[in-house]
Structure 1
Amino acid sequence: MEILLVLSAFVVYAAPVVLLMSAFGLVAHTVRRLREGGRPRLASPKPFTHLAGITAGGSVLFLLYAQWTYASSFRPDNLCHFAVGGPTRLPDSESVIPLSVVCDGTEIVPIWVNPVFFGLISASLACLTGASLARRALARQAAAVSVSPVSASRS
């Protein structure tokens, strides 16, 4: 149980750091490209990895915000009382992913929360895929440049 608590505390503190570092890295990369004159070149994996960090950190922070706002478990006996009214009691059902709290058959978490969270996760995965493809394209370009016509004709 202590391991889970330490791991969750690490995620809570690491998410804003990852988000800010990725945002600053993306801004620095953009400024560097603009100072170079923005000449066309092969895709760099850096912007994709920075965006993946931003969306991953944002998804964790968004889930924490939604959990805190709609499913706070500090006083679970009051959660249904404040959301639905009526007597103080525990929710009928709860889950973290997808975020859900049901009291008296009424879902407390708004309908937009889970699609936003999973959209951020999907964007993060798409950015990581883009970074992988960009890195592969750079490797192919480097391999094609390293084989010169002179060395190819000798073999």
Structure 2
Amino acid sequence: MNRIVRKIAGVAAAVAVAPVMLAATAQAESGPVFFSVGSMNCAIYDNGTFGCDLGSPTRLQYSFLPFLLTVNEIVIDQPFLPAHPTFDPGTPYTLPGGNPPLRDVKTGDGQWGSYIEYAGARCESGFHGSFSCQSKGRSFTSWSGTISA
């Protein structure tokens, strides 16, 4: 009988602690995660929206346009739009003093370098200094001074 009481007490304790553990996990995944890759300062928000301040004007190419655009910022914020520039004042994806390197906030290591997965988005360092991000069914890759979306 004493053994059954201990089991019931153990189950009750686990049930009582579960909401606290789940709340701690939910708090850990709230708010933006900031990081940098090369001269890009980026942020992933808890709704999967992703953006980067590019550091200097960068060429953006789309397969459906016959010309390149020059942009200072790129975002993935809507599932029905490709990665696209925005024209926010200032640098909304950069913390004062700069963002920590991707390797300092990474959630894992891939074949070519660090990656972060957060809120359904994944960004990773790639082969020969490339960098790619995907979220909301959209993606872009930056390599050799050009972003392809």
* Pairwise same-fold verdict (TM > 0.5): no
Q: Give 1 or 2: higher strand fraction.
A: 2
| Structure with max Cα Rg | 1
Higher normalized helix content (fraction of residues): 1
TM-score w.r.t. structure 2 length? 0.27
TM (norm. structure 1) is: 0.26
